[in-house]
Amino acid sequence: MALDYRACAQGIYTCAGGAENILQAAHCATRLRLELIDSAKADLQQLQAVEGVQGVYAIAGQLQVVLGTGTVNKVYEQLVKLPGMDAEGKAADSGAAARMPLPLRMLKSVGDTFVPLLPALAAAGLMSGLLQAFGQLVPTFAGSDWYSFLSLVAGTAFDFLPVVVAASAARAFGGNIYLGGLIGLCMIHPGLISAWNAGDASASLPSWQRLWFEVPKVGYQGHVIPLMITVWVLCKLERWLHRRVPEMLDLYLTPMLSLVISAFLAFTVIGPVFAAAERQMVYLVQLLLTSAYGVGSMLLGGIYSATVVCGLHHIYDVMEAGMVARTGMNILMPVASAANIAQCGACLAVALKTQDRKQRAVAVPAALSALLGITEPAIFGINLRHFTPFLCAAAGGALGGLLATLLGLSATSYGVSTLLGMFLIQPAFMLQYLLVLAVACGTAFTLTLLLWKNGEKTKKEARPGEALPQNIVLRCSLGEVAQPVPGVVIPIRQVSDPVFSQGLLGVGVAIRPSAGVVFAPIDGQVVSLAPTGHAIGLRGDNGIELLIHIGIDTVKMGGRGFTPMVAQDTHVKAGQQLMLFSPQTIREAGFDDTVMVAMVNSRNYPEAEAIVDVTD
C-alpha cells in the first residue's frame, strides 16, 4: 500500500510539537531536518512509530527524520502546507535558528548551501566519470562531437560552481538569490585571470592599482568558503539597507550598494584572506590522508559515518571541490566510499540475522541505498538503533580507508561515491577500488554477524502495536469488527462515561490499551476526525458505522498526546494505522485512558452484539 504522505507529514508535525515548536524545516536527499525550539517537547518514540519514518535522531536542537530517497521530498511538500508553516518550510515564528552555537550555525550554513546542489553535482560527477571511462575504453569516442558536447554539459557544474554556490548560499542566508548569483559571476568573470592559471606568480599578475591598494585581477574558480562569506555579507548588508533606505529609492539603491560593496570586499579582503585559509585547510586534509602508513585515512574512514550522524559531512564537499580544483585528484572520495559501503555491509548482516520481518523489510532497501552512496536509511533506520552494527561499520570503514591510501586511489571528480564512484576512478585502478569496497563491506558484514546479538532492540525503540489484533469485538448481519487497539477487552458498561456505559451511542466494547496505536478495524472511510485527535468516526464499506473514542474527557487535553495518521475523508483498509496516542500522557494528565468502540447505527440491526470474552 502506497504511503500516505499527508498523514506522514501530519504525524511528524504533531510529534515534533507543531508550528509553535518548529523553527525551520528543510530536507536533504533522505532526511527531513527540523530545527526545534525545545527538543524535550518532541515525542521521539511516537515519531519512530509514524508510518514511513525509517529512523529518528536528535542532536543540538535539530531533529533528523529519515524517510528515504524520493519519499522525503513528497512528505516535505505536505509538511509546509500545514498550519504555521510557510513555503520555505519555516514556522511562522522562525528566525530564532540563531540560538544554535556559532560553530553549528556555520556548519549548518554549509549544509543548507550544498544540499540543494547535490543532485546537480551528483549528475555532473557521474557523467564526467562515465565519459572518462568510455573515452579511455573507446579512443574514437574521445575525439567525437558527442564526447565534446557531453563534456561541456558535465563540466559546466564544476566550471561555474561559484555561481550556483553563491545563489544557493543567498537562499540559505535569506537574501536575494539573483544578487548572490551576480556575486558568483563577478568572482569568476572572464576579465579576470582564472585561479587555475594564476599559479603562485602573483607578482606578475595584472591588478587594480587605484583601489587604495593593489588588488590582483584573479578569479575564484574552485573556491567555496570566500564565496559563502561574501554572500553572507551581501545578505546582511541588503537587509540593513532595506531598513534604512527610503522606500522610493530602495528598489534601485539597495541592490546596487549591496552588490558594489560586497564585490569590493570580496576582492580586497574576504577573497584573499579566506582563499588562503581554504587552501591551507585542503592542504591539511591532503596531508592527513597521505600520512605515513595510512593512519589518517584509517581514522577518517572510521569516523566518517559519525560525522554524517552529526550533520557535519557537508564540509567534505568544500574539501573535495578544493582538491579537484587544485590538483585534479580527489583522494577523499575513496575513503568516504569505504565508510559508506561498510554501512551497507552491516545493514545486510542485520537483514540476514534478524527474525523481525518488518526490520528485514527496512534493512534490505536501506542496504541497497547505501550501496549507491545514500547511507542515512541504513545508519538511522538500522545500524545506529542497534549500535553494534554501527561500530562494526566504523571498523570496516577504517580498514577500507587504510587500504585506499595504501593503494594510492583517487577520483577525478566528486558528487557520487561507493559503487557508482568506480566511474570516477581511472580505469587502471578500478579493480583496486572495487577491492577496497569489498574489504570495507565484508569486514562490516562479518563483524556484525559475529558480534550483534539478534533481538537487542530496546524497549524504547519498540513500535507500539505491530499489527491489528485478530480478535472480533463486534458482530452483526453486515459483518464483523476487529479489535482496533491492543489491550484487554471489557464490557462497555464498566466505563465511567454514562454516554457509552448506558449504550446511548450504540452497542460497543471498551479496551484497556496495552499500546498507543489505533488500527482501522474494517475497510471504510474516515467520516469524522476530532481536531484534538481523541475520537475517530468510520463508515465501513459494509455499512457498519463506528465511533472510536480514546480515553474519557480527553477532549480537554487539546490534542496533546495524540497523533493522527490519516486525514478526514480518507479511505482506509483494515489494519491501517489511524492514530497514535500516549496512554502515559493521558494518565499523567489525570484522565482515564480506556478506549471505547461503539457501533453507532446498531439500533438498525437488533442482532448486533458485543464480544468481550477475549483478551490480547
Catalytic residues: 28, 549
Residue with cell 591539511: 284
CA angle 597, 599, 604 (to 5 degrees): 165
- For residue 596, give Cα distances in angstroms to 124, 177, 509, 567: 58, 55, 6, 20
Q: What are residue 64's DSSP bridge partners?
A: 33, 57
**Cβ pair 344, 376 in contact under 8 A:** no
Give a three-class secondary structure readout of 213-253.
Answer: EEEECECCCCCCHHHHHHHHHHHHHHHHHHHHCCHHHHHHH
- Sort strands 479-482 and 22-27 into parallel, antiparallel or unpaired: unpaired
Helix ranges restricted to H, 247-314: 247-265, 271-289, 295-309
Integer Cα distance of 418 and 337 in angstroms: 4
3-state secondary structure of 169: helix
Say how far apart CA 336 and CA 316 lie, in whole Å.
9
Residue 363 burial (CB count, 10 A):
26
Order of strands across the sheet with 562-564? 517-519, 577-581, 562-564
Give φ, ψ of 269 to 5 degrees.
Answer: -125, -60
Distance of CA 24 to the CA centre of its chain: 13
Looking from the CA of 281 toward its CB, the CA atoms found within 13 Å total 18
Report how far residue 361's alpha carbon sits from residue 345's, in angstroms, rounded to the nearest whole number: 16
Cell numbers describing residue 162: 561559484
Q: Enumerate long-range contacts of 317-321, CB under 8 Å, 24 or more apart.
A: 317/110, 317/114, 317/121, 317/224, 317/414, 318/110, 318/224, 318/225, 318/278, 318/281, 319/281, 319/282, 319/285, 320/414, 321/158, 321/161, 321/222, 321/224, 321/414
For 534-542, the CB contacts below 8 A with 24+ separation are 534/559, 534/562, 534/581, 536/578, 536/579, 537/600, 538/572, 540/478, 540/479, 540/481, 542/478, 542/479
* 386 contact partners, CB below 8 Å, separation of at least 6: 350, 452, 456, 457
Maximum Cα–Cα distance for the chain, whole Å? Answer: 100
